[in-house]
Amino acid sequence: METTLAWIHNYEYPAIVLLLMLGIVGLPIPDETLLLFVGYLSFKGELSTPLSLSAAVLGSACGITISYGLGHLLGARVPTTLGPWLHIDQTRFLTAQRWVSRWGKYGLLVAYFVPGLRHLGALTLGAAGLQYPTFAIFAYTGAVVWSTTFITAGYLLGEQWAASSTTLHQTFQWIGIGTMVTVVGLIMVILLRRSSSRS
């Protein structure tokens, strides 16, 4: 983790883009900690908050697009082809597929907040043949919300950012899941009412 934070110190915005892109693809990079640290550096005035947010969204969007593209290209061969590099076995892939089949494209809005689902969600949706325009709407909206949430938290916490990292991650994870369940529930209610009014 210290190496990751040193990269942010030394290379600033390009490092934010590159590290988040690689982290979203599935490499072992502490994404949330990175974003909190970026928020802290913005609080100290060492980084520009607008530029930091732009770099974070760009890196996240690039990473999740690469994951989607790999899933679209490889399909069911994702575990055997990418498994050795991204630590994806058949069990994890099937678990992600079940999660995606339950929540569908709406899951992309919260997948950023759930460990292991950031890249697996995009991989499985790509493998399932989700059309790119639909993917883009939900994935990039999720990227904006996730990046903004953690950078803002790091900014507001200031010197306490490191001590609060684990607690914040767990809190935002449950908030994200709760929000997704609520949104999907509302959409289902609206669709059911429309179908009943037509009949």
pTM score, whole prediction: 0.77
Q: What is the mean pLDDT of the chain?
A: 79
Spell out the domain ranges in the chain: 2-198
Low-confidence ranges of the chain (pLDDT < 50): none
pLDDT value for 29? 85
pLDDT value for 164? 58
Q: Give the 3-state secondary structure of 28-91.
A: CCCHHHHHHHHHHHHHHCCCCHHHHHHHHHHHHHHHHHHHHHHHHHHHHHHHHHHHHHHCCCHH
